[in-house]
């Protein structure tokens, strides 16, 4: 009977040892650049497969009955630390303008009134935070695609960057970016209204991006400038967004 027992003990010891080694090993692998870039290559697979299968398909839309009773405001709940934004906010954003520039034929300055006079899209969609929670809200605003057409993208333009007035944690200005396929998607709008009322400060007044097939951190709030670029390199941390730069979140947030 001693032989199977010692084997059993050996197996148990082996299992415990392997478990401990595996834990330490995972943390070590997590810090290994080659392994990380291998894991990161899955992001290309996510984007590639979803673009292949999804193309221009629409995100599900909901009804008024589905609205979250209390839509959680997350991230920056104000941009008051930005003096220019605070001045506009005090004035009801009457003199506020959205700048559209970069690789465009005709740079634009669009007032809130002008944005409201463009053809509008209203959609009830689900907002999914990367952390796991979801809230359903109704958004109204002009399609980004129409504004980009009015500005006239130059052939070299590949990315649309959203520069924001807020600075989460006071570190660096918030910004986000999307590719042209999402920029010209019919549900990609610049929302100035939420649940039938002007966009509140906590949700990014006066204007926020809605790019409905991606996670919450892509939905830039307090948008003040839209820039068309050929590359994301050389802009802030170079990864195309505030959280992408700061915490290594995936640039493509469709999953």
Partner 1 sequence: MTEPSELPSAEAALPRGGDRVRRHRLSTRLWHWTNLVVITVMLMSGLMIFNAHPRLYWGKFGANPDHAWLEVADHAGRGTLRIGSHAFDTTGLIGAATDAHGQVQAQAFPGWMTIPSTYSLADARLWHLAFAWLLALALAAYLLWSLANGHIRRDLHITRTEWSPRHILADVADHARLRFPTGAAALRYNVLQKLAYCGVLFGLIPLAIGTGLTMSPGFNAVAPWLLDLFGGRQSARSLHFLAALGLVVFVVVHLAMVVLAGPFNEVRSMVTGWYRLPAERKGSPRHEHPGHD
Given the rule CB under 8 A, which residues bind partner 1? 4, 7-8, 11, 22-23, 26-27, 30, 36, 38-43, 45-46, 50, 53-54, 57-60, 62, 66, 68-72, 126, 128-136, 212-215, 243, 247-250, 254-255
Question: CA 141 → CA 160, 211, 237, distances in Å?
Answer: 17, 12, 30
Q: Which is nearer to partner 1, 69 or 155 (CB)?
A: 69
Q: DSSP string spanning 26-87?
A: HHHHHT-HHHHHHHHHHHHHHHHHHHHHHTTPPPP---GGG--SS----S-S--TTSHHHHH
Q: Which is nearer to partner 1, 113 or 248 (CB)?
A: 248
Q: State the minimum distance, in angstroms, from the CB of residue 148 to partner 1.
A: 21
Cα–Cα distance measured from residue 124 to residue 127, given in angstroms and rounded to the nearest whole number:
10
| Three-class DSSP category at 98 | strand
Q: Which is nearer to partner 1, 69 or 196 (CB)?
A: 69
Structure tokens at 61: 């839309």
Q: Which is nearer to partner 1, 27 or 170 (CB)?
A: 27
Q: State the minimum distance, in angstroms, from the CB of residue 207 to partner 1.
A: 21
Q: State the minimum distance, in angstroms, from the CB of residue 123 to partner 1.
A: 13
Q: State the minimum distance, in angstroms, from the CB of residue 96 to partner 1.
A: 29
Q: Which is nearer to partner 1, 25 or 92 (CB)?
A: 25
> How many helices and strands in the chain, by DSSP H and E?
7, 11
Q: Which is nearer to partner 1, 62 or 118 (CB)?
A: 62
Report CA 77 to chain centroid distance, whole Å.
16
Cα–Cα distance measured from residue 212 to residue 127, given in angstroms and rounded to the nearest whole number:
8
Q: State the minimum distance, in angstroms, from the CB of residue 70 to partner 1.
A: 4
Cα–Cα distance measured from residue 113 to residue 100, given in angstroms and rounded to the nearest whole number:
16
Cα–Cα distance measured from residue 160 to residue 177, given in angstroms and rounded to the nearest whole number:
6
Q: State the minimum distance, in angstroms, from the CB of residue 121 to partner 1.
A: 16
């Amino acid at each position: 009977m001693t032989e199977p027992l010692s084997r059993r003990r050996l197996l148990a010891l082996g299992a415990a040892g392997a478990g401990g080694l595996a834990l330490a090993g995972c943390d070590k692998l997590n810090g290994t650049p080659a392994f990380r870039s291998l894991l990161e290559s899955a992001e290309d697979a996510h984007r590639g497969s979803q673009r292949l299968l999804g193309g221009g398909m629409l995100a599900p839309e909901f009804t008024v009955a589905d609205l979250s009773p209390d839509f959680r405001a997350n991230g920056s709940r104000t941009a008051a630390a930005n003096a220019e934004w605070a001045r506009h906010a005090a004035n009801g954003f009457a003199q506020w303008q959205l700048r559209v520039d970069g690789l465009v034929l005709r740079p634009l300055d669009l007032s809130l009134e002008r944005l409201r006079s463009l053809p509008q899209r209203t959609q009830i969609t689900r907002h999914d935070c990367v952390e796991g929670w979801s809230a359903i809200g109704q958004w109204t605003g002009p399609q980004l695609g129409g504004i980009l057409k009015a500005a006239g993208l130059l052939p070299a333009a590949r990315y649309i960057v959203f520069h924001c007035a807020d600075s989460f944690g006071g570190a660096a200005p918030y910004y986000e970016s999307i590719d042209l396929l999402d920029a010209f998607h019919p549900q990609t709008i610049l929302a100035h209204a939420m649940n039938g009322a002007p966009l509140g400060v906590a949700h990014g007044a006066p204007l926020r991006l809605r790019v409905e097939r991606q996670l919450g951190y892509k939905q830039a709030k307090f948008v003040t400038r839209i820039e068309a670029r050929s590359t994301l390199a050389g802009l802030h941390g170079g990864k195309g967004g505030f959280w992408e730069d700061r915490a290594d979140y995936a640039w493509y947030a469709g999953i």
